[in-house]
Chain A
Amino acid sequence: MDEVQRRLAHIHIRSSECKGCRYCVEICPKRVYEMTTVYNELGYRVPQASHEEECIVCRRCETACPDLAIYVKRMGVRFNRRNLSVVDASYQR
């Protein structure tokens, strides 16, 4: 119960459709994404949501992705009533 885990979103990336333009990496105000060294079938380097727990669901990356390859799914969050800490972030609405 003491472990506070804040995770508001689950980020889905269709790596096979990504063209590696870096818009999501650069545009994110919370620096959620970073480029990997993985190449997809099209031959582009793909990004990865390595700091997903930082996401604030502003959906800037989702609307700016030219390949329509990002979906930020909002997660329901269960709070601890006494100290308002998150006790179960994996709970989905």
Chain B
Amino acid sequence: MSGGQVKFPLDDLLRRDRFPHLWCQGCGLGIILSAFCRAVQEADIDLDHLVVVSGIGCAGRLSGYLNCDSFHATHGRAIPLASGAKIANPDLKVVVISGDGDLFAIGGNHFVHAARRNLEMLVICSNNFNYGMTGGQLGPTTPFQALTKTTPFGNWEEPLNLVQLASAAGATYVARWTVTYTQRLTNSIKKGLQREGFAFIEVVSPCPAIYGEMNEQGSAWQMWEELEAVSRIRDGIPPAEASLDIHERIICGDFIDRERAGYTLRLRQNRDVARQKALASYG
């Protein structure tokens, strides 16, 4: 039970004075935070050149716990803010960590266009199937026939397949993990951090206090066990085949890994060409 004064390995990356964090018992966001810190440590990234942006929601509070430059953006606008930071200073390592409601409901358009432009950033989406912070409303990732506060008789909409969307929009690295694969998740985040291109990692995360309670999935550990039981790793399969059904099968793995010139690189090349042409025209 000791450990009051002992320095933990992740203490340098965290604002420990703000702990204990506000997330509920057994929430997957703490595991994402822990995996992200470990990945930053393993990838040996300078904290002075790391920017973490998050939107609104439970996941939005994550940036506040990190001991680096971090921004808590307005709802859905985490990617535009991160794009601005990256374009203004291409030396920065920009990471967006946010929830499914923030990134894909209100901020869906920004996500698609950032992936299309191949902005050099890592986007980590914590998918908990509903809007957790506002009380558990229907979101774009809520499974078919799931119960939420706004669909008390079952959801009649089909959910969005986030990895398929990211892949179709042009992301260079696409992966999906559940929080139960802690080590694989850490390795994947490390891979995404080292990549010069748009990287997207979807993390299926349990929400025992709201989603789990509405759908009678039991305690945090029972949700974890169910996630562990239904998830399978299929590396390299087409993202369209990577189904996500929380009671039947969750396909995890690295789906897309390809090379493409990044946005800020092309922007600089274009700027040099434009400068030469302008100089030539002035004689």
Contacts and interface: CB of A to CB of B under 8 A. Distances in A.
Interface string B39-60: 0000000000000000000000
19 contacts: A12-B2, A13-B1, A14-B3, A16-B20, A19-B20, A21-B220, A21-B221, A22-B221, A23-B26, A26-B224, A63-B31, A63-B183, A64-B182, A66-B26, A66-B31, A67-B20, A68-B19, A68-B30, A71-B3
Contact of B4 (A14, A18, A48, A49): A14
Interface residues of A, number: 28
B25 A68 contact: no
Interface of A: 12-23, 26, 42, 44, 46, 48-49, 60, 63-69, 71, 73
Given A12-B3, A21-B220, A66 B23 contact: yes
A26 B226 CA distance: 13
Interface of B: 1-4, 6, 8-10, 14, 19-21, 23-31, 33-35, 37-38, 179-180, 182-183, 186, 219-221, 224-225
Contact of A68 (B14, B27, B28, B220): B14
A71 B30 contact: no
Given A12-B3, A12-B6, A71-B6, A63 B25 contact: no
Given A66-B30, A71-B3, A17 B20 contact: yes
A20 B180 CA distance: 17
Contacts of A13: 1-3
